[in-house]
Structure 1
Amino acid sequence: MANILAIDDDKDILALIRNILQRDHHLVSIEERADMLTIDNVQGYDLILLDVMMPEMDGFTFCKQIRSFVDCPILFLTAKSDEEDIVQGLMNGGDDYITKPFGVQALSARVSAHLRREHRDKAGSKQTISGFTFDFDSKEVWFAEEKLLLTKNEYKICEFLARHKGRVFTREEIYDEVYGLDGNALHSTITEFIRAIRKKCKGCNEIPIKTVWGVGYKWE
């Protein structure tokens, strides 16, 4: 059983979400407006479902505001299918998206998949790899005294590559690690995430993720 928050300005959608997830024995809280919520209102949840198109404040903006304060998966609910919009949402801290209209089984399966991945056991607590210190419990990365301000998916990519230092992974293999085989995002988002990671690492004068042209990426 998980504690889930659904935010959507459509009351019918919220009722459908609540019925589906309560059937799966989850606790479901619903909100119709993102702009009325504070950081305290969104903490303590195991997963957040967030509509993209809402009045006053859209889901992308709200996700960007709360991402550094909440560690749970954030799944966008969207009628948009444009690649640029989807990439924008994922780069703002979202973990995945569900396209409207969605079916009962699709929503249930997507939520269950993210909850399972969220509870995977991580071996060890802290480890320093190529000068970067990983705290696997808090899911943070430090270089010297500086903490890298990574989004959830950026952290997943860094940990995955660092744990397999020196091994080359294709973009598709990295995608499967981040989203799982049932992922619904775009493979091109991996390229965008790695570009963002490198930009954040430049402040440390280190770029640990190297491109192996024609193959993929590795952590050196």
Structure 2
Amino acid sequence: MDTHKIMIVDDDPHICEIVQVYCEREGFISSYSHSGTEAMELLASFEPDLIVLDVLLANENGIDWCMNARSYTNAPIVFLSSCEEDEVKISALSYGGDDYVTKPFSPGVLMAKIKAHLRRVSTGRREQLLELPGLTLDFYTQSVTMGSEPIFLSKKEFSLLSYMAQNVNRVVTADTLFQLIWGMESLEDTRTVAVHISNLRKKIEADPVNPERIVTIRGAGYMLVARSSFKART
């Protein structure tokens, strides 16, 4: 089981240390910063699973930071603040926050909230995985793995594969794929589907010339085949 990473953003070093100690007691990895600028750099390098964020940072607004951070992360954000005004709470929760804890706070209650949000996220993430023999699609990150090997797909390639994976062992016409993924207003034509299918085969087939996963059904379309005998490409 992966160890969760908690990022703490508070201009009070004492608060950061308290939260960090309790996080470590729960087996979490934690890191903290005292300013919004530092926190944005930490966000990129640390890639947290959850963020504990003060509303009032030194010379900065934590809610503004939260709004900006939402362009880079979907991690739950739990606000930690001495502000008890309803307007502040409403703003914090309306502009990207997932929870709000007022200071002085109970570390035990904060940890309980953190674990509840992490459980919710973990459940949601499991629901966004589609596992086929030797092939796993992650709809959250739009990524594909074969065994433990990541397969790098373009956005269109992932869209094609994910639709066929949701209709595994069923024929899907080229027209259907084209309309769903490129749209009726596209300047492309349905032949572009064949080009992308060919590129997909080069990435997921052991022998792209004689495909076994994405097969062509003559006169009908394409089928993504799932067999228990399929293993990750070696």
Within 1, Cα distance between the matches of 2:22 and 2:129?
A: 36
Deviation track 1:26-74 (CA, whole Å, cap 9, x = no partner) reads: 0010111113343x52131100000011112111010011112101101
- Give the aligned partner of residue 100 of structure 1: 103
What SS class does the counterpart of residue 22 from structure 2 fall into?
A: helix
- Give the aligned partner of residue 66 of structure 1: 69
- Give the aligned partner of residue 42 of structure 1: 43
What SS class does the counterpart of residue 68 from structure 1 fall into?
A: coil
In structure 2, which of residues 75, 78, 96 is the aligned counterpart of residue 75 of structure 1? 78
What SS class does the counterpart of residue 119 from structure 2 fall into?
A: helix
> 1:34-183, aligned counterparts within 5 Å?
34-38=36-40, 40-43=41-44, 44-120=47-123, 121-122=126-127, 137-138=139-140
Within 1, Cα distance between the matches of 2:88 and 2:28?
A: 30
What SS class does the counterpart of residue 116 from structure 2 fall into?
A: helix
Within 1, Cα distance between the matches of 2:11 and 2:82?
A: 13
- Higher relative contact order structure (alpha carbons within 8 Å, sequence separation ≥ 6): 1
What SS class does the counterpart of residue 93 from structure 1 fall into?
A: coil
Within 2, Cα distance between the matches of 1:47 and 1:29?
A: 11
Alignment coverage as a number of residue pairs: 130
In structure 2, which of residues 14, 17, 21 is the aligned counterpart of residue 12 of structure 1? 14
Contact 1:11 1:32 in 2 (8 A): yes
Contact 1:122 1:137 in 2 (8 A): no
| Cα RMSD (Å) | 2.2
Question: How far is the alpha carbon of 1:112 from its aligned partner?
Answer: 0.4
> 1:166-205, aligned counterparts within 5 Å?
none
Deviation track 1:164-191 (CA, whole Å, cap 9, x = no partner) reads: xxxxxxxxxxxxxxxxxxxxxxxxxxxx
Within 2, Cα distance between the matches of 1:102 and 1:111?
A: 13
Contact 1:35 1:56 in 2 (8 A): no
- Cα 1:61–1:112 change in 2 (3 A) is same
> Structure 1 regions of 5+ residues with no counterpart?
126-135, 141-220
Within 1, Cα distance between the matches of 2:73 and 2:96?
A: 10
Deviation track 1:159-216 (CA, whole Å, cap 9, x = no partner) reads: xxxxxxxxxxxxxxxxxxxxxxxxxxxxxxxxxxxxxxxxxxxxxxxxxxxxxxxxxx
Deviation track 1:6-39 (CA, whole Å, cap 9, x = no partner) reads: 010111111100111100010010111113343x
Question: How far is the alpha carbon of 1:124 from its aligned partner?
Answer: 7.1
Question: How far is the alpha carbon of 1:138 from its aligned partner?
Answer: 2.6
Instruction: Supply the AA of the counterpart residue of 2:102.
Output: T
Contact 2:79 2:101 in 1 (8 A): yes
- Cα 1:124–1:3 change in 2 (3 A) is closer
Structure whose alpha-carbon radius of gyration is higher: 2
Question: How far is the alpha carbon of 1:139 from its aligned partner?
Answer: 8.7
Matched, 1:25 2:27: yes
Within 2, Cα distance between the matches of 1:104 and 1:117?
A: 20
Contact 2:8 2:32 in 1 (8 A): yes
Instruction: Supply the AA of the counterpart residue of 1:16.
Output: I
Within 1, Cα distance between the matches of 2:35 and 2:106?
A: 23
TM-score w.r.t. length of structure 2: 0.51
Instruction: Supply the AA of the counterpart residue of 2:17.
Output: A
Instruction: Supply the AA of the counterpart residue of 1:17.
Output: V
What SS class does the counterpart of residue 25 from structure 1 fall into?
A: coil
